[in-house]
Amino acid sequence: MNWFVSADGHCHPLDDGPAVPWWWPTNEEYDVIDRSKALNRDIPGYVHEQLAHDITVRIAEGDLRPRTPLPSERRVCVEYGVAIGTARQAVKNLADAGLLQTFPSKGTYVTVKGPELAKKLLAEQGAEEEPEPVSDLFPRINRPGAARGLGA
């Protein structure tokens, strides 16, 4: 909050304008889409592979167009509910596949051939079966210490 000193020497709060600096992020900048449901943590495998798959689907469907920037790492983390290392690994895998290109201090962009490559990758992955969720294979045991292998 901003204050001003009156002629009599008393401090008074200023009521005009926001109480935060002009560079402070606004609510609109944090209005993100919850994409965490796109990731199934019960499926065996790495979360960064699922994240890379979802970004590939978004590129193939045209949600992310060629020569457009990928959302920032922080925004990807918030949207998908993952750690920054997971987001970085997914972006690295997609860059190695040729779908994305990263420019230091500029961001990560969808390549011109990104949609073609994404559709090709999805067609190749479509032949594979979706793995069964782990929770169906190994039901939880509700015994004290069972999670650590101590229960009998």
CATH code: domain of residue 90: 1.10.10.10
pLDDT: which is higher, 101 or 38:
101
Range of the domain at 40: 32-129
So what's the pLDDT on residue 122? 87
So what's the pLDDT on residue 40? 85
Q: Note whether residue 106 is domain-resident.
A: yes
Domain count, the chain: 1
CA angle 47, 57, 95 (to 5 degrees): 70
Q: Note whether residue 9 is domain-resident.
A: no
CA angle 66, 67, 68 (to 5 degrees): 90
Q: Note whether residue 82 is domain-resident.
A: yes
Q: Note whether residue 13 is domain-resident.
A: no
Q: What is the mean pLDDT of the chain?
A: 76
pTM here is 0.64
So what's the pLDDT on residue 8? 74
Q: Note whether residue 111 is domain-resident.
A: yes
Q: For residues 44 and 130, is the Cβ–Cβ distance under 8 A?
A: no
pLDDT in tens, 12-53: 666 555 555 555 555 555 566 778 788 888 888 899 999 999
So what's the pLDDT on residue 48? 92
**Predicted confidence (pLDDT) at residue 121 exceeds the cutoff of 80:** yes
Q: For residues 49 and 131, is the Cβ–Cβ distance under 8 A?
A: no
**Predicted confidence (pLDDT) at residue 70 exceeds the cutoff of 70:** yes
- Amino acid, res. 78: V
Q: Note whether residue 151 is domain-resident.
A: no
Closest CA to 46 of 82, 21, 72, 77: 82
Q: For residues 98 and 109, is the Cβ–Cβ distance under 8 A?
A: no
